[in-house]
């Protein structure tokens, strides 16, 4: 825990209050949905503050989905933004680097070390577990 406030920026908290009931699970669900679409909507909002909020949402979207590729993409995003703001290095090269696509992790699912993807529900997991594909 740091000295500053924790959690999402105040603008994000304000938006979440408008789209959720008082239930904690609704807030979490609304937050996850906003993380997925927030940066796309912020492209239409001008201004430096919106740019910082967009960067935060984009970085957090990668972090929230987890996985090595998403964490690498998040660090690349933050590094690119920092280099562009501080004018270090070759700006044309930095701004032309493309970020990898976000690898989506389902909100709910089952995971097994031998399973290549998440099982969407218990039925599909049991089906895989009893199949010949499961070599355990």
What pLDDT, on a 0 to 100 scale, did the predictor assign at position 15? 66
Q: Which residue has the higher pLDDT, 63 or 12?
A: 63
Classified as helix, coil or strand, 42 is helix
Angle at 59 between CA 1 and CA 45, to 5 degrees: 115
List pLDDT tens digits, range 72-126: 999 999 888 887 777 655 666 666 678 888 888 777 778 888 887 788 888 988 9
Mean pLDDT score of the chain, rounded to an integer? 76
% residues pLDDT > 70 (the chain): 63
Classified as helix, coil or strand, 130 is helix
Question: Is this model's pTM higher than 0.85 or not?
Answer: no
What pLDDT, on a 0 to 100 scale, did the predictor assign at position 39? 66
Torsional sign, CA 80, 101, 72, 65: positive
**What residues pair up with 110 in beta bridges, in sequence order?**
119
What pLDDT, on a 0 to 100 scale, did the predictor assign at position 5? 63
35 neighbors 59 (Cβ within 8 angstroms): no
């Amino acid at each position: 825990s740091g000295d500053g406030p924790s959690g999402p920026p105040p603008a994000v908290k304000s938006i979440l209050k408008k789209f959720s009931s008082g239930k904690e699970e609704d807030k979490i669900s609304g937050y996850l949905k906003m993380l997925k679409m927030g940066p796309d909507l912020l492209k239409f909002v001008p201004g430096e503050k919106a740019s910082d909020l967009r960067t935060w949402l984009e970085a957090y979207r990668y972090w929230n989905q987890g996985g090595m590729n998403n964490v690498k993409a998040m660090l690349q995003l933050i590094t690119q933004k920092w280099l562009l703001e501080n004018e270090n290095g070759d700006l044309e090269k930095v701004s032309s680097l493309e970020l990898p696509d976000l690898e989506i992790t389902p909100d709910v699912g089952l995971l097994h070390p031998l399973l290549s993807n998440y099982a969407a529900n218990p039925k599909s997991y049991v089906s895989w577990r009893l199949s010949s594909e499961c070599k355990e």
